[in-house]
Structure 1
Amino acid sequence: MRTSLVFGIIAATLPSAFAADQPSTPAPQPAERPAAKTEKKQAPPSIPDDIRKQYSAFAGKALAFAIQQRFKAMSSEKQKMLIDADIVKKAFMDNLAQPLDEESLKKEGDLITKAYEEAYKAYSKAKTALFFQENAKKPGVILLENGMQCEVTVDKDPANNYRIEEADNVEISTLHSDFAMRSRMSSSGVLEDFVELSEVSRELLKELPEGTKWIVYVPASALSETFREDDEQCLILTFDRELKTRGEEDGRDEDIEDEE
């Protein structure tokens, strides 16, 4: 073996051998990252399931009750002439489970509503005319020349009676309503400023006898032009004293509307 080759082998192996005899210095290692914590996903806020289900059942029951009340109202004697509750109920049940198109329903409603309103107007006009015809036959009803009809309550003691101009309260209702729609009070008297009545009507009422209460049936023809919207309209006015009988002569004027 040639010397140069031997020395070459020795030169190549000595550093390795020497290094093996020396304490080794570990190579720097990258710092270990802390293990990521697995966060539990938080559930969104909610109402307890049992309470939600109980309330849902109640809501359905309350809705059923409300609809039952509507059907009951439609079945009253007064409403029978206007709507058939049995047909309403059947149509409701037939359509409850199927999807309805809003646009188609609106078109259908526009057509039938227009026809119904015309029919109702004719019905209301005929009903009003019949009412005045029958009411005129009642004993004690005073007929005025412009079509108004009046009932006057007179106290046996003349000292307790007064003129209608002194009435400080009037309740206003219509022929087709079971209760007063609104009332008006004024310590200075309500008749003079009752602008719903024509001037002629107000003057005619001043000729009525003294009493404690006046019920006045007013056809549309006796109203002022501003309030004469429909020729089938009829107001029922009840004039009496409220403020003075209660000792409340405070000069207040009130116009109170009641919800129907």
Structure 2
Amino acid sequence: MWGRNVYDSISKFLQFQLTVNVVAVIVAFTGACITQDSPLKAVQMLWVNLIMDTFASLALATEPPSESLLLRRPYGRNKPLISRTMMKNILGHAVYQLTIIFTLLFAGEKFFDIDSGRNTPLHSPPSEHYTIVFNTFVMMQLFNEINARKIHGERNVFDAIFRNPIFCTVVLGTFAAQILIVEFGGKPFSCSGLTLSQWLWCIFIGVGELLWGQVRAGLMTPPPLYISKPTSPNGNI
């Protein structure tokens, strides 16, 4: 049971980390090529990396084991660490996040009726536009962290979530820290304070990660994972 739980914890972290990495690299590179400036600034990327590496590993690696793990079909000796279902989740959530980020980057100022942050002079004050892009990106990672708790296409991503107080503390603590960074980070974090409606839109788009995760789970038809009785196969976990 512990062996399977450790294996699953590593897979959960990889699923979450690779999604963040794919999106962050594409956004930073594409944004720098098109607008001559990355929409995610250096200090913001450091904060995202802190969420992705330290906090996420702490949250996803502390899921307690359960007896249901023994009812699951065992992993084979040669099974890849990143399964086909995980790869579909990584690519599926990356597509959702990239669609949202690029929409906000190139049309967000019209939707929120604010000044564009693109092609602004060097050393200019932080813009609301790019702050919304950054804040939405972090909100999507927070809610996708909940999606990452399941790696086999399960629908109920909230199952036994309160059995892991560390996970809940990390998510709530990261959200509180994000509020402080956006509202009081100022120039060091390249952030400008947002209005309540702008915050609600960022959170709403982040919650869309959970809805998109349900759509993804409904489209996938993973192979049966569970059997009728516990197993202890030699060489498999």
Q: Report TM bin, short chain.
A: under 0.3
Decide which structure has greater helix share. 2
Which structure: larger Rg?
1
Q: Give TM-score scaled by structure 1 length.
A: 0.22
